[in-house]
Amino acid sequence: MKKTYALLAGILVVILSANLVAADVAVGPVDVGANPDDKMPKVCVYKRYVSPDGINNCNYRAGQYAFVGEQIYYELIVRDENGADDIGYVKVRIDNYPELICNQISLERKQCDGLGNMNPLTDKAFECTLTVEPSWGPRDEAENLLDSVLTITVYDSIGRPKDATHSENWYFNPAIALNVYTNDDEPIHFEDGGPGDIVHSENHLKIKNMGEGGVNLWIFLAGTDLYGAEGAAKCPVTNKIDIEQAMKFRGWSGTLGPEWSDFDMWVFMGEYDQNDGCDWACGGSPKKTCYGGKPVPGWSPMDNVLTNNGLMEVEFKLEYPVPCIGTFNNGELLVFGKAI
């Protein structure tokens, strides 16, 4: 029985081998292809801030304008459904001119509105720090400042651009200008009075913000001492009236200024000092003067704001020292407008 089984097994092996060797094979090739859409990237901007320069350490600016050296900062997510490897780079363009290549940063954010949850297989994160250049700020034929368009553009791996849906219009390097005059177009003059009297100005100062691009200004007011004119003058010990001790002012602009219940709050004038500087507005020890000038009409950083095309008015009081004699008309008022 064992021999029979062995023989049968051997025959089967031979038959199978013969069939494999002798069989013909027919091949019918059919092409197979797929073409997933090559989607353009999407951009989600999730962080934005502006870094003002100079006196403006309040990080406060109510307007779309920026000066040379100031910075505009963004953080954003780029998503490409074809894969993160298809994301090339990101640029910030000003008036269609590429000005900045953004830096890729780690993908730490968990979500971005419009994109949902982050996915390292399709998403990359970037930061962009744009610094305003001196040459920015186009003008028309009449030399009027024009606004510029800031656009964030992402490029895929083969260099095709796609603009973000978020773009901004900016006025770069606007000119700052003040129109300072009196309501009667005469120098500031006072009612009649003598030594020891307090006299009120018969006219008042008007200050108008004429800056370009919607620039708002912090306003400071200073003055020089009043020096004797022709003839002998002495008040009380020399030929000048010290404005820091003898002259006061109060101002108003809309709701800014002394409150109605305390409108009789007058402030002593500050004396102009070219070495004083004008560097800080906010912080632990905010600077209350600008080249010796004091803020007008209010004292805090938000109370001496003159909006673009806004008007501010100031009136004055003068207390004549005792003794005092002569004519004192060699004086000057100076108004300083610092961009917010």
pLDDT higher than 50, residue 18: no
CB hemisphere CA count around 142 (13 angstroms) = 2
Q: Distance between CA 317 and CA 232 in Å, rounded?
A: 24
Over residues 178-193, the mean pLDDT reads 96
Over residues 102-126, the mean pLDDT reads 95
Residues of the chain with CATH 2.60.40: 42-172
pLDDT of 4: 47
Over residues 52-72, the mean pLDDT reads 88
pLDDT of 34: 56
Over residues 13-27, the mean pLDDT reads 55
> Among 30-39, 228-237, 254-263, where is mean pLDDT lowest?
30-39
Over residues 190-219, the mean pLDDT reads 96
Query: What are 270-315's pLDDT values in tens digits?
Result: 999 999 888 777 766 666 789 999 999 988 778 899 999 999 999 9
β-strand pairing of 217-223 with 270-271:
parallel
pLDDT of 14: 46
pLDDT higher than 70, residue 139: yes
pLDDT of 285: 64
pLDDT of 177: 97
Q: With bands split at pLDDT 50, 70 and 90, how would you rate the model's confidence at 15? A: very low
Q: With bands split at pLDDT 50, 70 and 90, how would you rate the model's confidence at 59? A: confident
Q: In what order do the strands lie in the sheet with 148-156?
A: 65-66, 161-172, 148-156, 87-94, 97-101
Over residues 120-145, the mean pLDDT reads 97
CA distances for 80 relative to 96, 153, 175, 319, angstroms: 23, 14, 42, 74
Topology of domain 42-172, CATH: Immunoglobulin-like (2.60.40)
Over residues 104-125, the mean pLDDT reads 94
Over residues 256-283, the mean pLDDT reads 86
Over residues 66-79, the mean pLDDT reads 96
pTM: 0.82
Average pLDDT over the chain reads 88
Over residues 177-188, the mean pLDDT reads 97
